Amino acid sequence: MSSFRPRIYCADAFADLEGLITERCAAIITDPPYSERTHKGSSALTTIPYASISHAQAEEIGRTFARVCVGWVCVFCDHTMIDTWSRALASSRRYVFAPIACVTIGRTVRIRGDGPASWTDYLIVSRHRTKEFSQWGALPGAYVGTRGTAPASERERQAGDKSDALMAAIVRDYTRPGDLVVDPFAGSGTTGAASVSLRRRFLGLEIDPDRARTSDRRIGDFYDSMSWLYPETKRYG
């Protein structure tokens, strides 16, 4: 990546990630598909429009994340995959922390059957055992958000996408201005938008061509609208 301009490539994280990272990857912050159990369990009202991920796939790509990233790796998952992601992210001599609950007050994922069910996403975070990443203060015990009313940009989103506020909190906690943040499962580009707004550089991969095109355009336009405000960010190019 030779310029600061954020990009979301239409690419397969499993096949293309290592080839697309051509400079120091300070952080991987990503929200891959969840387990088959979660995908099958979503109601007709919240059908997830992409395939689930297997434990073997999570293990494989988690090891790749641990190898290619110099700083924090932060991966969302459901409760059934906590152990798999934790094991994979502990490779390459990394330290893995206790899962961080990400709770959205008022959110329910099931409105039929035996009643509304609450839902908690988990964030698995890991870092190398080096000084550079060991003195960043305390990790939060949880990320708590509220449902609220979705602004126009949020209404375009798909089931499974994260809120702007949550992704901004995570980008702020695990990266610094000027860092290159990579999201190999970029979806609607929420990690990218948070990274741009906080003056981090961004590289994303998304396998769905329509989503990749739309999200790439969205974060590019967002970057253009932000760059008059922070002209000095150009120096990262």
Number of residues that bind ligand SAM (CB under 6 A): 22
Q: Which range touches ligand SAM (CB under 6 A), out of 19-27, 67-75, 119-127, 154-162?
A: 154-162
Residue 29, judged by CB atoms within 10 A of its CB (0-12, 13-18, 19+), counts as buried
Stretch 19-58: interaction string toward ligand SAM, x if CB under 6 A = ------------xxx----------------x--------
Residues in the chain: 237
- How distant, in Å, are the alpha carbons of 8, 189, 196, 217, 219 from that of 222? 13, 11, 8, 8, 5
222 CB-near residues (< 8 Å, 6+ apart): 193, 196, 197
Q: Which range touches ligand SAM (CB under 6 A), out of 12-20, 77-85, 88-96, 141-149?
A: 12-20
Task: For 99-122, give the DSSP string.
Answer: PEEEEEET--SB-STTS-B--EEE
Task: Give me the sign of the Cα torsion angle 222, 227, 230, 236.
Answer: positive
Nearer to ligand SAM, 95 or 145 (CB): 145
At its nearest, how many Å lie between ligand SAM and the CB of residue 169?
13
At its nearest, how many Å lie between ligand SAM and the CB of residue 237?
25
For residue 49, give the nearest of 126, 185, 159 by alpha carbon: 159
Window 97 to 126, contacts with ligand SAM (CB under 6 A):
none
For residue 169, give the nearest of 76, 94, 107, 58 by alpha carbon: 76
Q: Which of 42, 161, 222, 226 binds ligand SAM (CB under 6 A)?
A: 161
Window 184 to 203, contacts with ligand SAM (CB under 6 A):
184-185, 187-191
Distance of CA 202 to the CA centre of its chain: 11
Nearer to ligand SAM, 32 or 71 (CB): 32
Interaction of residue 205 with ligand SAM, rule CB under 6 A = yes
The Cα 212–Cα 186 span in angstroms is: 8
Q: Which range touches ligand SAM (CB under 6 A), out of 79-87, 96-104, 119-127, 180-188?
A: 180-188
Nearer to ligand SAM, 128 or 163 (CB): 163
Binding site for ligand SAM (CB under 6 A): 12-14, 31-33, 50, 160-162, 184-185, 187-191, 205-208, 211
